[in-house]
Amino acid sequence: MSLVGLVAAVAAITVGSRAVSVAVLPPPRGSLANIVDRLPAPLFAVLAAATLLGSDQGSSPAPVWLAAAAALLTVRRRSLLLTVAAGLAGAVVGRALA
């Protein structure tokens, strides 16, 4: 599978699961709503970075930590594309430094 196909498949699964959860589950309330509202994009960015770059059992955790930090910096923009791009960039930098 090509890289573009892999990214498209991951994006389709993410958007599809998000749409199903919005349609089926009741919306969270209170402080849980704040956590849930900020969690999916950075989490997706780190998972996408780990998937696209591959995982090496013996490597350092620096790429994952940098991907998460970079993704968290963009959460207030509320743009999944920007968050994923920042997460991937953080992972690439982390891999280069490791």
Read off the pLDDT of residues 4-53 as tens digits, 9 standing for 90 and up.
777 778 778 878 877 887 788 787 788 877 776 766 666 666 666 666 66
CA distances from 19 to 12, 23, 64, 72 (A): 10, 6, 27, 23
Is the predicted pLDDT of residue 92 greater than 70, yes or no?
A: yes
CA proximity to 83, closest of 94, 69, 95: 69
User: What is the pLDDT at residue 72?
Assistant: 79
Q: pTM for the full model?
A: 0.48
CA proximity to 67, closest of 40, 54, 49, 81: 49
